[in-house]
């Protein structure tokens, strides 16, 4: 297969294989000295509130732990109440701040209600991480309309609903950061991944558009898409229990990449990051 064409001016940063940073005015996140991917990003998020979707387990839980560990107050948004509450209790025992809110990202009215309740309580969302995702691994000829709808609503429409609610509020406050978790399927797909690839490709396009509008609309808003390769998480292991874990990466690596996106100093912006296992077969 021919290598995909690379745009003359790539919109993003590829971790581990060179970087391109687009200029953007300062954000309100404070960074510590020594920031760098080699030893994990260092960022001070005290006084910031983050909302992470699909946060009860896997990558979402790893991101939640990293954000809380950096000082953020984290809203753990998920439909898995028991798992999410266990995570919040775990973080609470460590002296960190996390609380659960039940949210089905496919329900636009429910998403709006969560943001409205947070706003009325004076608890603005400074950092949004759209992580929730599902997949149905079937050949297209065997897919049902219900399965396609569930995947596209969760992986594309849900993040868009959250961006709509958070972005306008960030503009009003003059700052914030949105991180959308993408996939290598947003660039190069494979069999049995039609709806998943369609959703992630659409979310990547939406993220690029939001990045450009943030450059125009508000100098304090960061928008980053993170293309993550295979991870050793329930999302993979429950569907492919015989998967070769040596081909996968830890979700903590991707969670550190989220912190890196938030740690970039004033005057620069990270519009896109790619972080994959060295043996990743689906990139580029």
Question: Is-catalytic flag, 196?
Answer: yes
Residue 284, preceding peptide bond in cis (omega within 30° of 0): yes
C-alpha–C-alpha distance, residues 280 and 231, integer Å: 10
Among 161, 167, 196, 260, the one annotated catalytic = 196
Catalytic residue positions?
A: 196
């Amino acid at each position: 297969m021919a290598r995909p064409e690379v745009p003359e001016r790539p919109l993003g940063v590829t971790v581990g294989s060179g970087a391109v940073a687009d200029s953007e005015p300062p954000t309100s996140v404070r960074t510590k000295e020594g920031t760098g991917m080699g030893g994990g990003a260092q960022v001070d998020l005290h006084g910031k509130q983050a909302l992470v979707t699909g946060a009860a387990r896997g990558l979402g839980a790893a991101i939640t732990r990293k954000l809380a560990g950096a000082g953020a107050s984290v809203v753990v948004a998920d439909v898995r109440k028991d798992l999410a509450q266990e995570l919040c209790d775990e973080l609470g025992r460590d002296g960190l701040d996390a609380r659960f809110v039940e949210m089905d990202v496919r329900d636009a009215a429910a998403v709006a209600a969560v943001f409205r309740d947070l706003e009325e309580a004076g608890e603005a969302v400074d950092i949004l991480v759209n992580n929730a995702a599902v997949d149905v691994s079937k050949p297209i000829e065997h897919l049902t309309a219900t399965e396609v709808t569930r995947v596209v609503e969760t992986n594309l429409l849900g993040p868009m609903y959250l961006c709509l609610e958070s972005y306008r509020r960030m503009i009003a406050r003059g700052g914030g950061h949105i991180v959308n978790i993408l996939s290598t399927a947003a660039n190069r797909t494979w069999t049995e991944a039609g709806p998943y690839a369609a959703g992630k490709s659409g979310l990547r396009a939406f993220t690029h558009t939001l990045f450009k509008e943030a450059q125009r609309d508000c100098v304090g808003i960061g928008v980053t898409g993170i293309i993550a390769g295979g991870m050793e998480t329930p999302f993979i292991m429950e569907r492919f229990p015989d998967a070769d874990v040596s081909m996968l990466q830890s979700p903590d690596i991707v969670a550190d990449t989220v912190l890196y996106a938030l740690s970039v100093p004033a005057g620069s912006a990270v519009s896109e990051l790619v972080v994959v296992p060295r043996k990743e077969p689906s990139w580029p």
